[in-house]
Structure 1
Amino acid sequence: MAETSASDILVRFKNVQKSYDGETLIVKDLNLDIRKGEFLTLLGPSGSGKTTSLMMLAGFETPTAGEIMLGERSLNRVPPHKRDIGMVFQNYALFPHMTVAENLAFPLKVRGMDKTDVTERVKRALSMVQLDKFANRYPGQMSGGQQQRVALARALVFEPQLVLMDEPLGALDKQLREHMQMEIKHLHERLGVTVVYVTHDQSEALTMSDRVAVFHQGEIQQIDSPQNLYEHPRNTFVANFIGENNRLHGKLLSREGDRCTVGLENGERVEAMAIHDAAPGAPVSLSIRPERINLNVQQEQNRFSGRIREFIYLGDHVRIRLEACGNSSFIIKQPIATLDPKLSVGDVVSLGWNVEHVRALDPVAVAE
């Protein structure tokens, strides 16, 4: 990807820290550039610092150290309502005593816009989220999905340059959540507004984002496109947090260029991509995605045998749990169409994967 020039940056976090007690840093020395027009997701487990970072950008929290810039101006002393930022929360935060149209008009009236403009903007925003017929309804008369659309329209109605979304789909059921993910993604593509989105749901992050920043213990572990995060995780935390992952523990035996040989605890050897910079003899953790492993195929560089322990049927694919490579919960994903119907529990099978699909990463405690 081409280098981003300064004029393409909308938001810049410079050495931002946040502590609530003066001792523990919830956000540690955050440096992050958010590009104009991009959909950036902050992803991570609870307590990783993602929501705190969003709240500092919104103005509801103040950085303990460092500076947040929006365009050319520092936001550190700008109150939330003067930041030109739209906000969508998980709980919608709609005014129950106001109709949908009045809810949407509110941020415009606060900004002193005249009546004709307000009416026109509200109409446009309602049409954008396909709620034209709901202008005179009250939030209490609408479903969760409809209320979330109103919240979305209200965040966009004053045409801010930046919209922040904090777990906005968390309260919706799975089907509606997936539908709304696509709605928001398409809306973003149409409007070209910059979106910063917070979630702990990895599939949501992968589906919607241009880039994802993975947070852990107050620091960004990796910021990348969804595909790169999934296929090329830089460390064990990212490999385990994004998607499903088989993890094997071993020692680095030798390294040549970008490849290495790892000895597993049971004596088997694996050829892998050398991502973690370890010296021979040092512990490493291997990461292999379940869908990258093949059964009964001859040509891979890494071939082992395993005993089938369980089949887990999931409609379009089957997860097969095996005892393999010293791991009793080794998972392979196979599309139903390619599964050999003669396989059964207890069978010993050969399995293998190519060297480019296994990554030698930093070691983690086996007890984890």
Structure 2
Amino acid sequence: MPDTGASDAFVAFERVQKSYDGESLVVKDLNLSLPKGEFLTMLGPSGSGKTTCLMMLAGFETATHGEIKLDGVSINNIPPHKRGIGMVFQNYALFPHMTVAENLAFPLEVRKIGKSDREAKVKRALDMVEMGDFGGRRPGQLSGGQQQRIALARALVFEPELVLMDEPLGALDKQLREKMQFEITNLAHSLGITTVYVTHDQTEALTMSDRVAVFNDGRIQQLAPPDELYEAPQNSFVAQFIGENNTLEGTVQQIQGDRCTVQLANGEVIDAKPVNVTQPGERTRVSIRPERVEVNPELGDTAHTLKARVLEFVYMGDIFRTRLEVAGNRDFVIKTRNRADQERLTPGQEVAIGWLPEDCRALDAD
């Protein structure tokens, strides 16, 4: 669940709301706190409220209600340039008429830092992003990846304690984007900088973050470390949004401790872990990750098996991805490692599938 704010939080949103028209809320009663040095990602689909939260923290948007604090001090009425926050955007926002070194020196000049100190800080920032030899070039002479490094260096050059990043890698190709993910994370952690990162890319969020706040409809649906988000989603939205996921519709028959029985649409009954179901008769969606499902499982490996029909078998190099029809769901996917002894399934083939009950989560039907 979302934080309620902590007295020792470095960044805190306290009951923050945002409306542009005075009626509909883009951000709804947000409570969120970050300790110093954390790398937090705000993840969600377009229109979920994540970028609005970042812009309120930066000072480019004003909260309609509630308070935003930085190191215990309210910053609601402090203008953006006085908040001491570094910003990195997707479009880099570099001045094309300035050299790289001049771009980096600009925020230092604004802060009235002397020339010798400016030069030392610019050199340090460029070395930090491995661009020490590019100070004399203009942004137009750099590749996309180099420009992004310079944008990052400019955000760090005045040594802020907080850096905000809004889809900073969105314009890069896949290979460079993955390389920059690790570079940004390592740099943030080595410098001890608190980072708030906005993206709609779930892989990016899982790879880079200490914690991820999953947004939808103006609210945080779940706030947790990446492995917990993936392994233990708290509702159907998070289960579907984070990674690939299988769902089967059903009705809760019985709940007993950390186990419940669910009757599926085709009449078969399975065991699951009750996550946000509370009583028999309740509609549910059970959630199972593709890699947790076994084909023709050995007796005893799983608590039960279901019949399935192979619809599609795709070779993907390191894994095989198989789409099946299971209990009326024609988009049930399993992923198996490419091993020498792994059976290659064929469309139309009838198989048995199974999984451990603890890997199957009974979530909300909506």
Partner of 2:254: 254
| 155-164 or 292-301, which deviates more | 292-301
Instruction: Return the match for 1:359 from 323, 344, 361.
Output: 361
Partner of 1:314: 316
**Cα distance in 2 for residues equivalent to 1:170 and 1:5:** 31
Alignment: residue pair count: 362
Match runs of 1:19-34 below 5 Å: 19-34=19-34
| 53-62 or 314-323, which deviates more | 314-323
Find the residue that maps to 1:116 and give its secondary structure. helix
Instruction: Return the match for 2:329 from 315, 322, 327.
Output: 327
Q: Which amino acid aligns with 2:365?
A: P
**Cα distance in 1 for residues equivalent to 2:230 and 2:344:** 32
Q: Which amino acid aligns with 2:201?
A: D
| 275-284 or 117-126, which deviates more | 275-284
- Cα pair distance change 1:14/1:339, threshold 3 Å: farther
Partner of 2:67: 67
The percentage of counterpart residues that share the same residue type is 62
Match runs of 1:36-75 below 5 Å: 36-75=36-75
**Cα distance in 1 for residues equivalent to 2:344 and 2:74:** 65
TM-superposed deviation, 1:7: 6.2
Describe the superposition over 1:233-273 as per-residue Cα deviations: whole angstroms up to 9, x where unpaired: 00000000000000111000000011100000100111000
**Cα distance in 1 for residues equivalent to 2:295 and 2:257:** 29
1:344 equivalent to 2:346? Answer yes
- Cα pair distance change 1:342/1:16, threshold 3 Å: closer
TM-score using structure 1 length: 0.96
TM-superposed deviation, 1:37: 0.1
TM-superposed deviation, 1:105: 0.3
Stretches of structure 2 lacking an aligned partner (at least 5 in a row): none
Match runs of 1:160-175 below 5 Å: 160-175=160-175
- Cα pair distance change 1:339/1:91, threshold 3 Å: farther
Describe the superposition over 1:66-103 as per-residue Cα deviations: whole angstroms up to 9, x where unpaired: 00000121111000000010000000000000000000
Partner of 2:109: 109
Match runs of 1:1-368 below 5 Å: 6=6, 8-297=8-297, 298-299=299-300, 300-337=302-339, 340-341=342-343, 343-364=345-366
- Cα pair distance change 1:339/1:151, threshold 3 Å: farther
TM-superposed deviation, 1:165: 0.1
TM-score using structure 2 length: 0.97
| 59-68 or 332-341, which deviates more | 332-341
The 4+ residue runs of structure 1 with deviation greater than 4 A are 3-8
TM-superposed deviation, 1:344: 1.9
Two-structure CA RMSD over aligned residues (Å): 1.4
- Cα pair distance change 1:88/1:342, threshold 3 Å: closer
